[in-house]
Structure 1
Amino acid sequence: MPAFSLEPEQQAWCTELRTLAAERLRPVAEKGEPGRVDRALLAELGRSGLLERLFASGALDLCLMRESLAHGCTEAETALALQGLGAHPVHAHGTPAQRARWLPAVADGSAVAAFALSERAAGSDAAALTLRADPDPGAAGGAGRGWRLTGEKCWISNAPEADFYTVFARTTPGAGSRGITAFLVPAGRPGLTGSALEMLSPHPIGALAFDGVPVTADDVLGETDRGFRVAMGTLNLFRPSVGAFAVGMAQAALEATLAHTARRDAFGGKLSDLPTVAHQVAEMALRTEAARLMVYAAATAYDAGAPGVPRRAAMAKLLATETAQYVVDTAVQLHGARALRRGHLLEHLYREVRAPRIYEGASEVQRGIIAKELYAETPPPTGEAP
């Protein structure tokens, strides 16, 4: 399929998702408590079949879901995305027992998943994480092999209310990214506690403390000391869809601005009659469409197993999140003070749009990934520089 075009059935599905977001999910989300996991919203997403589709879809379908839901209900988009992010390592690397225990409950919205990678001193530099997995010779399960997790995680979405966590811990000291293991840790494990963090956006985010939390080989996702691959594989899938989330917000802001400037009286005519305003709106539309196309291209490359996926994913996330920040900010400027009033769509989007430029790799990290991949793809010089 060409990266720049959607099939008619895909376009129709996006229209259905927008309607679902506006008519079914938005009313549920409005009853939720900001900063808390909305289990009623998750249950509604489960009934809609979208959570189950997380595990049957490719990257492009994931992007279409996130973009379409974000257009009408950012809370529903985020709830769906966090379920996918936390549970994808179980889907992709879990044992049959792990998958059977957790994935059906994630799909129907009855179990809340979380992806626990970031730490206070290891956010953008994920390979520098310090949560320790110390050997536990007395472990009973997992063929007699076990560990005790000691340390902290921070900025974890859905914490501390999640039912299980995909936790990344250091099993081999001094080995960098090669000494990290991914563990599936149920919330009820002894020694695991957490606290909520109050953030700019209304998402559930918290910190986790591990005080000798027991895990065994039965809890490992993938292979011991190969957890960094689990983390990066998950992020390569979800980074383009973070861009899709951003595109959905940008599109909502653009449409609100078109409507507002076309009806707002100003200087003897409509606001849209002013060339400076019309040109700003055109720029908003141009950047939004360019970001959308890059997101679709990155997702299509992922689904096709094409080369350069990390670079494409980083480009898509970078361009789309920076674009959404620009578009929403410009929309607020063109709306004036009314856009700053609590409860206005743009006031909501203004708080929502800032975080995606940081999480799952800040914009600076994405530029680093792009540069690293470009130089890796460049043949070494064969002679003297001119």
Structure 2
Amino acid sequence: MADRSFLDWPFFENRHRDLADALDAWASAKINVDHSDTDAACKSLVAMLGDGGWLTHSAVDPETPTTLDVRSLCLIRETLARHDGLADFAFAMQGLGTGAISLFGKPEQQTEWLPRTRAGHAISAFALTESQSGSDVANSTMTATADGNSYVLNGEKTWISNGGIADVYTVFARTGDAPGAKGLSAFIVPSDTPGLTIADRIDTIAPHPLATLRFADCRIPKSAMIGDSGAGFKIAMSVLDVFRPTVAAAALGFARRALDETLTRVTTRHVQGAPLFDLQMVQGHIADMAVDIDASALLIYRAAWAKDNGAPRITREAAMAKLFSTDQAQSVIDKAVQLHGGDGVRSGEPVEKLYREIRALRIYEGASDVQRVIIARQTMGTHI
């Protein structure tokens, strides 16, 4: 049983505690999806999450305009990750893929897409990364050229989560308004738009739907632009500001599951007639895992609380949460594998799957070293 005492912290309201309890019960009863076909599993999980009503938290309701509640997003990702990494992925991509529409979309854009993604009837994706501009978003080269009442997209996006199964992509392309970051704009591109093709599917150590998208004279209406021309970088960073703490929360969910599995292991596995837990070195590892988990949770829910309470940006807080939580989750899971001995590296064992799942979280949505740069610059900014 995962520790629930953190829900009593003052970061949360009763509605958050109720949400965490209800989702944990639902996930325990419902999530049992065959992962052998990753695309099919993700589609099934999106539908299940929609039917369960959980995706209503992933995007704003166009009928009752509200803001995204970051604490709820984090609690949902933490809980789902603890139960099933692919379920967390399915939820997260629905939110990230429509984040720009939720935060900056025109009413008609929100009305067209958000009811469908919130119900699990359409799958969304966030298409920002290019082969030469992973963390360096300002170096993006994909173009969107104005032509009458249309924009014509040309270029490629890669490492796109939900690539190949998404119904709609939020795409960032250069409209030429200015050099660097100021020249990017954001667009809504349905997956069946002529000129958009899947150039490649990407396999990873923890299977998820990933693809390279190719745009060749892909024509979309000017009404597909999200926000203002040239505001794409600001939109992308604002979306990541909201969702970066949720990546940390997913890492926290993985770490909590690793600790749970380890506590079971060290209390049921006997060495020389006594539980493994009786060894002081084992107790030291357990203590380190518990400290890292609580410290991660404090950073995550501080960032989420700050955003929900009106902070215009939480760049520093979100970067700290993501850097620390993903790095420490890797350490917690590594200890879990070590304490499981040979079973820790047996294919299909829970801690073996966690070991593969956690590694990507230290890379996507801003690699750990990029977070260090952000934190340093933000810290210097407060000093000047």
TM-score by length of 2: 0.92
Residue 369 (str. 1) matches residue 374 (str. 2): yes
Corresponding residue for residue 273 of structure 2: 268
Corresponding residue for residue 16 of structure 1: 22
| Residue number among 40, 55, 58 corresponding to 2:44 in the alignment | 40
Greater shift, 171-180 or 62-71, is seen at 171-180
Distance 2:375 2:30 in 1: 39
Distance 1:31 1:287 in 2: 30
8 Å contact from structure 1 (residues 298, 309) kept in 2: yes
Find the residue that maps to 2:120 and give its secondary structure: coil
Write the mapping of 1:59-78 to structure 2, written as runs, cut at 5 A: 59-78=70-89
Label 1:302 to 1:316 Cα distance change in 2 as closer, same or farther (>3 A).
same
Label 1:37 to 1:48 Cα distance change in 2 as closer, same or farther (>3 A).
same
Q: CA deviation at 1:217?
A: 1.7
Residue 176 (str. 1) matches residue 180 (str. 2): yes
Matched letter for residue 107 of structure 2: P
8 Å contact from structure 1 (residues 22, 72) kept in 2: yes
Label 1:66 to 1:338 Cα distance change in 2 as closer, same or farther (>3 A).
same
Residue 241 (str. 1) matches residue 252 (str. 2): no
Label 1:115 to 1:308 Cα distance change in 2 as closer, same or farther (>3 A).
closer
Find the residue that maps to 1:354 and give its secondary structure: helix
Matched letter for residue 74 of structure 1: G
Corresponding residue for residue 97 of structure 2: 86
| Residue number among 350, 375, 380 corresponding to 1:345 in the alignment | 350
Corresponding residue for residue 163 of structure 1: 167
Greater shift, 223-232 or 47-56, is seen at 47-56
Write the mapping of 1:126-275 to structure 2, written as runs, cut at 5 A: 126-136=137-147, 139=148, 144=149, 146-172=150-176, 175-194=179-198, 195-275=200-280
Corresponding residue for residue 315 of structure 2: 310
Distance 2:320 2:11 in 1: 19
Corresponding residue for residue 136 of structure 2: 125
8 Å contact from structure 2 (residues 188, 226) kept in 1: yes
8 Å contact from structure 2 (residues 79, 253) kept in 1: yes
Q: CA deviation at 1:15?
A: 2.5
Q: CA deviation at 1:47?
A: 1.0
Q: CA deviation at 1:126?
A: 1.1
Matched letter for residue 129 of structure 1: S
Residue 294 (str. 1) matches residue 299 (str. 2): yes
Q: CA deviation at 1:88?
A: 1.3
Write the mapping of 1:88-103 to structure 2, written as runs, cut at 5 A: 88-103=99-114
8 Å contact from structure 1 (residues 15, 68) kept in 2: no
Q: CA deviation at 1:53?
A: 1.9
8 Å contact from structure 2 (residues 177, 229) kept in 1: no
Corresponding residue for residue 55 of structure 1: 59
Corresponding residue for residue 64 of structure 2: none
Structure 2 unaligned blocks of 5 or more: 1-6, 61-67
Matched letter for residue 83 of structure 2: G
Corresponding residue for residue 105 of structure 1: 116
Label 1:244 to 1:350 Cα distance change in 2 as closer, same or farther (>3 A).
same
TM-superposition CA deviations, 1:242-294 (whole Å, max 9, x none): 00000001000001101100111113311111111110011001001100111
8 Å contact from structure 1 (residues 51, 108) kept in 2: yes
Q: CA deviation at 1:62?
A: 0.6
Structure 1 stretches of 4+ with a deviation exceeding 2 A read: 1-13, 29-32, 34-38, 305-308
Label 1:205 to 1:109 Cα distance change in 2 as closer, same or farther (>3 A).
same
8 Å contact from structure 1 (residues 357, 363) kept in 2: yes
Greater shift, 174-183 or 353-362, is seen at 174-183
| Residue number among 284, 290, 315 corresponding to 1:285 in the alignment | 290
Q: CA deviation at 1:174?
A: 5.9
| Residue number among 356, 360, 369 corresponding to 2:361 in the alignment | 356
Q: CA deviation at 1:4?
A: 5.2
Matched letter for residue 285 of structure 1: A
8 Å contact from structure 1 (residues 150, 212) kept in 2: yes
Q: CA deviation at 1:23?
A: 1.5
Find the residue that maps to 1:353 and give its secondary structure: helix
Q: CA deviation at 1:134?
A: 2.2
Greater shift, 97-106 or 3-12, is seen at 3-12
TM-superposition CA deviations, 1:133-192 (whole Å, max 9, x none): 1232xx3xxxx3x32111110000000221110000011176111000000001111111
8 Å contact from structure 1 (residues 301, 309) kept in 2: yes
Write the mapping of 1:375-386 to structure 2, written as runs, cut at 5 A: 375-379=380-384
Matched letter for residue 316 of structure 1: A
TM-superposition CA deviations, 1:295-321 (whole Å, max 9, x none): 000001111123661000100011110
Q: CA deviation at 1:193?
A: 0.4
TM-superposition CA deviations, 1:195-250 (whole Å, max 9, x none): 31111111111100011111232010011011111100000000001000000010
